[in-house]
Amino acid sequence: MKFPALLINFKVYKEALKPVADVAKAVAKETGVEIVLCPSHIFLKEIAQIMPSFAQSIEPLEEGAHTGAVIAEYVKAAGGIGTLINHSEKRIPMRDIEICIERCKAAGLLSCVCAATEQEVEQICKMFPDMILIEPPELVGGNISVSTARPQIVSNSVRIAKAISNNIKVLCGAGIKNKADVKKAIELGADGVGVSSGIIKAPDIEKAIHDIASGFHAQK
């Protein structure tokens, strides 16, 4: 996976099916921006055949008698290259986060752990995930981006993460809607952004992906 990167979280919006993946693939090829998709578990195998894909979550479990669980090995078998962990809409205890990171390492998956505060960033970075995604929950799904509303939390998260390990990539999410939001995030030191409704619920999804992807090139 290359950086800077754009993660698109499909959540379970009705619009978030194969056509979005086809559009994202075309935009990635045209712009050279690294785009990773996070589809519903049900569609992970299908979408992973089109674009690099993360699961939206995994359980802190190994193989065994766990009805309904999604485990790291199954994500890998479906073609996923990583997973989100601890999204603001699917929060889990710190100990479970640590186990999920360990399970990802064992299965050969990338871990992208969401954090709501700078304190959580520090706690989680000490578990050495591959990526941390800072997203204040009050801004998730809103119209004001974290890079605009709370720029200091982004720059502080970058500083905290890099002090622990230069190998941890820092992304920011929550309210990212356009290229200006992305440009600001990169200026603050982020290695990429996570977007959901800003793309999936946009009137013109292709135009929205193009616009957000262009924010990366605005740095040059």
At the top level of CATH, the class of 5-217 is alpha beta
What is Dmax (Cα atoms) for the chain? 51
The tokens of 125 are what? 């970075």
pTM score of the predicted model: 0.91
Query: What is the secondary structure of the chain as a DSSP string?
Result: --SSEEEEE-TT-TT-SHHHHHHHHHHHHHH--EEEEE--GGGHHHHHTTS-BEES---S--SSS-TT---HHHHHHTT--EEEES-TTS---HHHHHHHHHHHHHHT-EEEEEESSHHHHHHHHTT--SEEEE--GGGTTSSS-HHHH-HHHHHHHHHHHHHH-TT-EEEE-SS--SHHHHHHHHHTT-SEEEESHHHHTSSSHHHHHHHHHHHHHTT-
Which residue ranges make up each domain of the chain?
Answer: 5-217
| Predicted pLDDT of residue 149 | 62
Backbone angles phi, psi at 64, to 5 degrees: 155, -155
Q: Tell me how far apart the alpha carbons of residues 214 and 65 are, in angstroms, rounded to a whole number.
A: 46
Tens digit of each residue's pLDDT, the chain (220 residues): 899 999 999 998 877 677 889 999 999 999 999 999 999 999 999 999 999 999 999 999 888 889 889 999 999 999 999 999 999 889 999 999 999 999 999 999 999 999 999 999 999 999 999 999 998 766 555 555 566 666 888 899 999 999 999 999 999 987 777 888 889 889 989 999 999 988 998 889 999 999 999 988 755 4
pLDDT of residue 220: 47
CB 110 within 8 A of CB 81: yes
Comparing CA positions, the residue from 72, 52, 76 lying closest to residue 62 is: 72
Active site residues: 87, 135
